[in-house]
Amino acid sequence: MTLSPVGRPHPAPPLDVDRLSAAKLWLTSSTGDLPYLSAALYSTHHVSSTEVHTATADADWRLYVNPDWLAGSPVATVAAELAHVTWHLLADHASRAGSMFVTASQAQAWRTASDVTVGETLTGSGMTGHGLPAAVDLRLRPGRSAEEHFAVLSQLPPPTPDGSGGDEETPGRSQQAADRCGSSADGLTRWYELPLDADTPRVGVVQADEIRRRVAIDFRQHVTSRGTEPGEALRWASAILDPVVAWQPVLSAAVRRAVAWASGHTDYTYSRPSRRQFAVHGVVLPATRRPVPVVAVVVDTSASVDDGMLGQALGEVDGAIAGLGVPGEQVTVLACDAAVQTVERVRRAADATLGGGGGTDLRHGVDAAARLRPRPGILIVLTDGYTPWPERPPAGMALIAAVLHRAGTAAPPAPPWAIAVTCPMP
């Protein structure tokens, strides 16, 4: 359907569904060579609309197609436009515009920025004739994200979280009719787009995420077999399939679990009477106590470990321990490379003196920690992972292996009996 100038729906000419199907087939066959787009292309719902010039899409995966344009355009041209709006949906440019607090006055800059990244993706995939702007033509640096391009193109001060900074709240009708993207690119609803309760189906958030994941899997397989890296798409696929989880809260949670485990090992004491003493005459019953665990930290000080990475990890360990109320001087830090260099009891792990700089064999550090008195209940090992490990865990201790590595590189495996936390760092 389409809308009249007074906002009432009236019938629009029907779409040539066979021509749309031909365009999709052109894209996903050897001709267009974009087979990974199949799941997304066949998930959109078509709406005939004379209010758009070519084809646009809203954020709910409804595709608005001008029937006259569809009938008079070559299949390859229709296919290129379908690929264009489909990549806006896959890249979730609508939500990303919201995260950037893009207002109506900034929407054109955002659409251009996102079109540049889509154009790079399609060009990198071998598609020509899509008519999208190129980074070099706009004096932008190729290969950057839509957010980076937008920062250059908008030339506006950073918007505030309440969305202020623009002088227009909704896009004008002439502006909406002229753009090729629809709200799929910037999240700003066009006047011709259908409401949420319309009869035309839409794709929900959960289903959209599943479609993106399916396409990301197919895209990665396609790129691996062809050896190309088109535009921002490879980063997009990696973000979906290999999300980077902040390691700091994971490490803190692991320390808290280990402290809870060690604190749960209760012991008996006669320093205070048992709560059950009144039930027994002539016998003194011991009470139970839950000791505060002793913490030991083995720090890999071999030449391969970056001091900045160690500093960040030690700071997170200190924060977790302090938050759990472990008293001062309950932390022993052992600096170890191929041998134990220093053993120091400190109030904060970050205050320890770290010596070393040679090879790596943290088995010596783990053995030395197990011989400490009082015996630690928790052992935290900070390492880059390139070390031999003991064959079995130290008895009576919870061992956390925090493996530090550079983001984008694979972390060496920790022993299966350890609580392993991988810590990717820039």
pLDDT digits (tens, 9 = 90+) for 251-274: 777 777 776 665 555 555 556 666
CA dist 417 and 294 (Å) reads 20
For the domain spanning 247-425, the CATH number is 3.40.50
Rounded to the nearest 5 degrees, what angle is found at the Cα of 123, between the Cα atoms of 122 and 127?
70
* Residue 212, pLDDT above cutoff 70: yes
Check: CB of residue 75 under 8 Å from CB of residue 112: no
Residues whose CB is less than 8 angstroms from the CB of residue 309 and which lie 6 or more positions away in sequence, other chains included: 384, 404, 423, 425
* Angstrom distances, CA of residue 117 to CA of 156, 218, 220, 261: 20, 19, 18, 49
Spell out the alpha helix ranges (H) of 91-172: 93-99, 107-124, 146-154
Q: What percent of the chain has pLDDT over 90?
A: 33
> pLDDT tens-digit profile of 356-381?
778 889 999 999 999 998 888 889 89
Average pLDDT for 116-123: 90
Average pLDDT, the chain: 81
Triad 99, 132, 223: Cα angle to 5°: 80
Kindly state the tokens that stand for 50.
């004379």
Widest CA span of the chain, in angstroms? 103
pLDDT bin (cut points 50, 70, 90) of residue 112 is very high
Each domain of the chain, given as residue ranges in start order, spans: 2-241, 247-425
Q: Across residues 337-355, what is the average pLDDT?
A: 81
